[in-house]
Amino acid sequence: MGSGTISFGLVAIPVKLFSSGESASSIRFNLIHQACGTRVKTRYYCPSCDVLVERNELVKGYEVAKGQYVLFSDDELKALNPDSTNAIEITEFVPLAEVDPVYFEKTYYLGPDKGGLKPYRLLSKAMRETGRAALAKYAARGKDYLVLLRPFDDGLAMQQLRYADEIRSFDEVPVGDAEVQPAELELALRLIEQVATDEFHPQQYEDEQRKRTRALIERKIEGEEIVAPPEEAPKAQIIDLMAALKASLGESEEKKPAKRSPRKPAAKKAGGKKSAAKKAAGG
């Protein structure tokens, strides 16, 4: 996707940026003119003049009051967006666990560029051994980004972060107040323990809705008519929290594979010996 240079003290580490996501994985539909099957194009309309406006007639403006804008020329816009240096300047190292994921926005993979392999490996190994990540300023695309460099797999990942003033306070979320009973907490802890794992395996999960949609699209391409499946009946709502927890524990127990108990000595052998003894005694 691009390149940059990590400043680590007086050490400069040239790196390349790679996308961490697969953009082609999403399913997108286009707007088509039903009469002729042609994809429509976006047109710009001026409601004051009641005319369609061509792209070469457009300029950018900043709204200073309701419906009032100050206009900027291309040269003025360039002055507002200085040239990007692509410098990734490390400012401090922090414990990775101290950075809440609410600040995470985008993830990029970083690979060493020409001449940067050894210092790239050094930085990755040093952060891995200290359990720390690097906060840095990244100047690109006419903007200063706050980023987090962290060890990832055999190398480094760069996490684009939101600034503090871009995070809304959780105080705006009405959560109310309710007293949790000890018995309810005990059942909840048991439920968590029953389905808890010590490792994260994302490959176990996939987008079932996307998979189903692709299958329906293929059927449509082959000429079949597709219809919406019948709606499922809503599940009965359990008002009693204790009852819901107990029912959940029962379901999770059913989903877990049964543990095999150690084999006991076969009773047939003992029985066989007794039968042989009886026969020898004349019984």
Euclidean distance between the first and the last CA atom of the chain, given in angstroms as a whole number: 90
Q: C-alpha distances in angstroms, 44 versus 63, 67, 68, 133?
A: 18, 17, 19, 46
**Position 105 pLDDT exceeds 70:** yes
- The whole-number pLDDT of residue 141 equals 75
Cα–Cα distance, 228 to 219 (Å, whole number):
13
In a domain, 89, yes or no: yes
Please give the residue that has the higher pLDDT: either 23 or 105. Answer: 105
Cα–Cα distance, 204 to 83 (Å, whole number):
44
CATH code where residue 154 lies: 2.40.290.10
Backbone angles phi, psi at 227, to 5 degrees: -130, 155
Name the percent of the chain lying above pLDDT 90: 31
Confidence of residue 39 (pLDDT cuts 50, 70, 90): very high
**Position 132 pLDDT exceeds 90:** yes
Our measurement of the distance from residue 8's CA atom to the centroid of its chain's CA atoms, rounded to an integer in Å, reads 29
In a domain, 28, yes or no: no
Whether the Cβ atoms of residue 15 and residue 116 lie closer than 8 Å to each other: yes
Q: Kindly give the residue spans of alpha helices, DSSP state H, lying in the chain.
A: 74-80, 117-130, 182-194, 208-221, 241-255, 267-280
| 163-197 tens-digit pLDDT | 999 999 999 889 888 888 888 888 889 888 888 88
User: Total structural domains in the chain?
Assistant: 1
DSSP code for 262? P
User: What is the residue-averaged pLDDT of the chain?
Assistant: 81
In a domain, 130, yes or no: yes
In a domain, 195, yes or no: no
- The whole-number pLDDT of residue 267 equals 45
- The whole-number pLDDT of residue 283 equals 41
Q: Is 201 helix (H, G, I), strand (E, B) or coil?
A: coil
| 40-85 tens-digit pLDDT | 998 899 999 999 999 889 999 989 998 899 998 888 887 777 667 7
Confidence of residue 129 (pLDDT cuts 50, 70, 90): very high
**pTM of the entire predicted model:** 0.67
Cα–Cα distance, 94 to 103 (Å, whole number):
14
In a domain, 122, yes or no: yes
Name the percent of the chain lying above pLDDT 70: 84
- The whole-number pLDDT of residue 36 equals 93
In a domain, 141, yes or no: yes
Q: C-alpha distances in angstroms, 207 versus 26, 29, 131, 213, 231?
A: 10, 18, 33, 10, 20
**Position 21 pLDDT exceeds 80:** no
Q: Is 107 helix (H, G, I), strand (E, B) or coil?
A: strand
CA pseudo-torsion sign 95, 4, 143, 153: negative
In a domain, 254, yes or no: no
- In DSSP terms, 133 is beta-bridged to 94
Our measurement of the distance from residue 208's CA atom to the centroid of its chain's CA atoms, rounded to an integer in Å, reads 16
| 229-273 tens-digit pLDDT | 777 776 666 567 778 878 877 765 555 554 444 444 444 444 444
In a domain, 9, yes or no: yes
Mean pLDDT of 124-136: 93
Domain with 126 in it: 2-22+83-166
CA pseudo-torsion sign 88, 89, 94, 98: negative
